[in-house]
Amino acid sequence: MKNIAIFASGAGSNAQKIIDHFSDSTIARVTLILCNKPDAGIFRIAEKENIPAILIEKDPFFRGDDYVQLLQREQIDLVVLAGFLWKVPANLVQAFANRIINIHPALLPKYGGKGMYGHFVHEAVINAGDAESGITIHYVNEKYDDGATILQERCTIVPGDTPETLAKKVQVLEHTWYPVIVERLLTNEAVSH
């Protein structure tokens, strides 16, 4: 049985889909949730699902090995970022090389980088007049939204779409594909680079 740790900063809808996907699995389970915002909805999900949840402290996260050691102690096989807004420090990236993944609500390399998340991404896509958007699931490296792509899925933007309507289309793709890709990675079915 593989162990998944989810890092989140918000409501946790992607985390919930992953938890649901593995609820009766013999392959993996979500064994730990880490969050950097004390009032985030992900804590309610963790409590409801009976999964240990930890509030990340900023200084130890960016200056030291506490979280690397925690993940190693908990025998985490895959770290899944689900709306986690901090850049993952280099020591954690190196300790879990090719075992940390993220989902971005656009087709990278467009609309990535610091500050490009959620509504900001959808607004930028709509303002640019793009004909499509989608999701990018990728490995995490030391730079924002820069790791090797695992999967991209697209949705069409139609006249009249707003950042809000685009967000709903993208969220459908996220909820459909993120749990599937997590499972494929844990069973070595996905292309690793």
Residue stretches of the annotated binding site: 12-14, 102
Binding residues for (6R)-10-formyltetrahydrofolate: 102
Long-range contacts of 49-57 (CB under 8 A, 24+ apart): 49/19, 51/19, 56/7, 56/86
Q: How many CA atoms lie within 13 A of 175 on its CB side?
A: 11
- Name which of 186, 92, 100, 187 is nearest 137 in CA terms: 100
Catalytic status, residue 104: yes
Please identify which of the residues 104, 119, 138, 193 carries the catalytic annotation: 104
Question: What amino acid occupies position 77?
Answer: D
Catalytic residues: 104
